[in-house]
Amino acid sequence: MSEVLLAAHNVTKQFPGVLANDDVSVQLRPGRILALLGENGAGKSTLVNILFGMYRPDSGDVIIKNEVVDLHGPDDAISRGIGMVHQHFQLVPPMRVVENIVLGAEPSKRGLVDLEEARNRVVELSGRYGLEIDPDALVEDLPVGMQQRVEILKALYRDADVLILDEPTGVLTPQEADHLLSVLRELTATGLGIVFITHKLREVLAIADDIVVLRNGRVVGETKPAETNESGLAEMMVGRSVVLRVEKSVAQPGDVVLAVDELEVNDDRGQIAVDRLSFEVREGEILGVAGVEGNGQRELVEAITGLRHPMAGTMRIDGEEVTNGSAREISKKGVAHIPEDREKHGVVAVYSIAENSVLNRYHRSPFSIRGVLRRDVIERHAQEVVDEFDVRTPSIAVAASSLSGGNKQKLIVGREFSDDIKLLIAAQPTRGIDIGAIEFIHRRILEQRDKGAAVLLVSAELDEILGLSDRIAVLYDGKLMDVLDAQDADRERVGLLMAGITK
């Protein structure tokens, strides 16, 4: 019989108010890739944190190499050969690659780190697994894909025979992601077992040997790539059939609404983040902005919505210059904004749903008169938003913080869409929300387009960009690589541009 490398057996974990894992069992065998699939909050992270010793299960067992173990912390898991590549890299930026790899398990002589020995081991390791890296480079100077490689080497250095990867492709271009998948496949040839957590259906089908789908903390399905397809997996994840691709008609572009000319914006550290960008968005079209996160998207959106002052260049809305306008001045021109960080910029967590539903217009008639808020009007409006946009809540009087991510997002969309809008700036509009809500929000965005709004859609999810956009602009390092018509764009082409390759 074959060995079980890592398994959870009837694991249950309760957090205040949530049953995060409910009688979950999974197992991983040598040389195989197990994909854990599920929406945000389905319990994937809790499960791997239990397997890695970060949390202890309330009941049930963790089994490593056919042996029931009681993990007291990550170091316990590490010493038993479990390695984890976290979604947010756990690397010390101002330290060298070699130092990061050996940290916590340093080769040493009389208390001093033996860097020579450490470097030799790292070089040997990267040669053996074909993961090339400069051991002396500072981690902060490395591109994201390389940093991820350091994380993998870190686990291999500790003789891991199980690698757990938490959403590893979220920060990569499609080509980098494909490369990672093939690296992982090669690693399994040495007998390594891999647990791969993701919400991307395509990747699961491409790489997994076994697929376990989680929903609301329970295992709702186990399958293999050969036995299913994207919509089958999506249905398992959501619990009902879903439309993965919304139908859309051909765009009818009208006049230019947003014209950006030679725009230059700095990031928080004063470095150029948006480098002399010029583009236009017309009535009735969606311009998608593709790019790996951190290539200037945030700064661009903040500049257009008046949250950040550009250093140079101009912006016009309907021909009127708004370059240094405040957020309110810009909002008054009929600009709606779905912000990237809904917790920070989208809602005021401690305000009620009713109050949140008028954040953009509370100071205007009919919601207030001479500086006094009119509760009844606000509440009526809030009820309309909640009904129309399907915000699931017991009451409009509860605090926004009590809503789930998807419902918060629907509330924001409802608020922004309840006025006539000329220009919609949607930044990562479906990040971290369930498939049902994604579908809903996509349809609403298309609806706005068909009503004649100009839409600027910024998203790190390439599928979202490809599915919704009429034209696609690709950002790399703050520069506009190209603008493609949607029918000329495919993953391959956009992916190369996202990596800064123009050919």
The residues binding other proteins (CB under 8 A) are 54, 73-75, 78-79, 84, 86, 88-95, 99-100, 103-106, 108, 111-113, 154
Minimum Å gap between C-beta 346 and other proteins is 24
Residue pair 101/148 in contact by the 8 Å Cβ criterion: no
What single letter denotes the amino acid at residue 434?
D
Q: In which residue are the tokens 């919400």 written?
A: 199
The whole-angstrom separation of Cα 131 and Cα 116 is 20
Nearer to other proteins, 84 or 426 (CB): 84
Minimum Å gap between C-beta 119 and other proteins is 14
- Angle (CA) 494-497-501 rounded to 5° is 140
Nearer to other proteins, 100 or 173 (CB): 100
Nearer to other proteins, 206 or 272 (CB): 272
Minimum Å gap between C-beta 39 and other proteins is 21
The whole-angstrom separation of Cα 33 and Cα 185 is 8
What are the distances in angstroms from CA 288 to CA 226, 297, 407, 463? 33, 11, 24, 11
The whole-angstrom separation of Cα 98 and Cα 259 is 47
Minimum Å gap between C-beta 111 and other proteins is 5
Nearer to other proteins, 47 or 391 (CB): 47
Nearer to other proteins, 95 or 311 (CB): 95
| Per-position b or e across 79-115, b if 16+ CB within 10 A of its CB | ebbbbbbbeebebeeeebbbbbbbbeeeeeeeeeeeb
Minimum Å gap between C-beta 102 and other proteins is 8
Nearer to other proteins, 40 or 231 (CB): 40
Residue pair 97/151 in contact by the 8 Å Cβ criterion: no
How many CA within 13 A on the CB side of residue 434?
A: 20
Q: Largest Cα–Cα distance of the chain, in whole Å?
A: 79
Minimum Å gap between C-beta 75 and other proteins is 3
Minimum Å gap between C-beta 495 and other proteins is 29
DSSP string, 419-449: S--SEEEEESTTTT--HHHHHHHHHHHHHHH
Nearer to other proteins, 50 or 438 (CB): 50
Residue 5's φ and ψ, nearest 5 degrees, are: -75, -45
The whole-angstrom separation of Cα 206 and Cα 94 is 35
Minimum Å gap between C-beta 148 and other proteins is 14
The whole-angstrom separation of Cα 220 and Cα 63 is 21
320: helix, coil or strand?
Answer: strand
Minimum Å gap between C-beta 190 and other proteins is 22
366: helix, coil or strand?
Answer: coil
Instruction: Say if residue 366 is preceded by a cis peptide, omega within 30 of 0.
Output: yes
Nearer to other proteins, 109 or 370 (CB): 109
Bridge-based pairing of strands 59-64 and 272-282 is: unpaired
What single letter denotes the amino acid at residue 413?
V
Nearer to other proteins, 29 or 86 (CB): 86
Q: In which residue are the tokens 């661009």 written?
A: 300
Nearer to other proteins, 105 or 483 (CB): 105
Minimum Å gap between C-beta 125 and other proteins is 16
The whole-angstrom separation of Cα 447 and Cα 429 is 15
Minimum Å gap between C-beta 194 and other proteins is 18
Structure tokens at 129: 């697994």
The whole-angstrom separation of Cα 84 and Cα 127 is 21
Q: What is the 3-state secondary structure (H, E, C) of 20-42?
A: EEEEEEEEECCCCEEEEECCCCC
Nearer to other proteins, 154 or 408 (CB): 154
Nearer to other proteins, 194 or 473 (CB): 194
Nearer to other proteins, 113 or 377 (CB): 113
